[in-house]
Amino acid sequence: MGFLNNVFNTIKGYGNEANDAFVDTQGIRIMEQEIREAEAHQRKANESLTDVMAEQKGIARKVNDLKASVQEYAEAIGKLLDAGNETLAMETAEKLAELETNLDSNQAILDSYNEQVKELKAIIKDSAKQMAALRREVSIIKSTEAAQQASAATAAQFSGSNSSLRSASASMARIKAKQQKRKDKMKSARELAKEATGGDLNDKLAAAGVIGNQSSASSILDRYKKTN
């Protein structure tokens, strides 16, 4: 089952039932149990891997020794045949046959150990992934639960003082009025500050063309023209 599907099934509160538990605690218990099982599974796989790898190393050593012996006896047979010692060559060949059978069976065991190591490593990797996913789910569900409990606590506060949850549109209207009042107050304060510094009168005089806002090259030139 997908992550969100699990969460959806575990979280209640999608309906109106105010008295329902917010989160299906049984669901969380199941997930926590799954985490514990995955942990146990991983621990077991780790132990098995250690054992199998120890065996694998032992058999690999044996296979290498046998290979060396097979090589050695094969070379000896060649030398004995060259020297015309067929009887000893036959005896050596019998020994070589025994060694080769032994090598084949040990090689088969080694192959099976190699396969087991590969499988155990895959199991360990999968359980780690599964545990991480489950831990993430439990964490998300618990934080959603905390948020739901927080909402419910506030809703209870409101329903304690009023007949039901406060009306959103009435609250919005009140806040807007309050914010407007605050803006107006700030505007008035700015205007008052401007008046106190004479800025307001200067603005009016400038608008009426009685005073200039700033000295400019043309106003200076005008001043000179008038005096001359």
Partner 1 sequence: MNNSLDKVQAALADYITEDGNRFSVTETKNDTFTMLTIIRDDIEEFAILATASDSQLLFNVALFDKAQIIAGQSPALHTMMLELNMAMPLSSFALTGANYSIFGAMSTESDASQIQEEILVLSENIMDALEVCQHFLIKA
Under the criterion CB under 8 A, does residue 14 sit at the interface with partner 1? yes
Estimate to the nearest angstrom the gap between the alpha carbon of 124 and the chain centroid: 19
Task: Report helix, strand or coil for 210.
Answer: coil
Pick one of 6, 13, 27, 99: the residue that binds partner 1 (CB under 8 A).
Answer: 13
Under the criterion CB under 8 A, does residue 166 sit at the interface with partner 1? yes
Pick one of 5, 87, 161, 164: the residue that binds partner 1 (CB under 8 A).
Answer: 164
Under the criterion CB under 8 A, does residue 149 sit at the interface with partner 1? yes
Q: How far is the CB of 151 from partner 1 (least distance, A)?
A: 5
Under the criterion CB under 8 A, does residue 153 sit at the interface with partner 1? yes
Pick one of 4, 83, 172, 193: the residue that binds partner 1 (CB under 8 A).
Answer: 172
Q: Which is nearer to partner 1, 62 or 135 (CB)?
A: 135
Q: How far is the CB of 147 from partner 1 (least distance, A)?
A: 5
From the CA atom positions of the chain, what is the Rg in Å? 45
Q: How far is the CB of 173 from partner 1 (least distance, A)?
A: 7
Query: Contact, 136 vs 128, CB < 8 A?
Result: no
For the chain, the distance separating the N- and C-terminal CA atoms, rounded to the nearest angstrom, is 97
Under the criterion CB under 8 A, does residue 21 sit at the interface with partner 1? no
Positions 78 through 137 that interact with partner 1 (CB under 8 A)? 136
Q: How far is the CB of 148 from partner 1 (least distance, A)?
A: 5
Query: Contact, 135 vs 3, CB < 8 A?
Result: no
Pick one of 29, 118, 142, 190: the residue that binds partner 1 (CB under 8 A).
Answer: 142
Under the criterion CB under 8 A, does residue 190 sit at the interface with partner 1? no
61-68: long-range pairs with CB below 8 Å, 24+? 62/106, 63/103, 63/106, 63/107, 63/110, 66/99, 66/102, 66/103, 66/106, 67/103
Query: Contact, 137 vs 6, CB < 8 A?
Result: yes
What separation in angstroms does the CA of 62 have from each of 68, 76, 151? 10, 21, 68
Which chain residues interact with partner 1 by CB under 8 A?
A: 13-18, 22, 136, 139-140, 142-155, 164-176, 178-179, 182
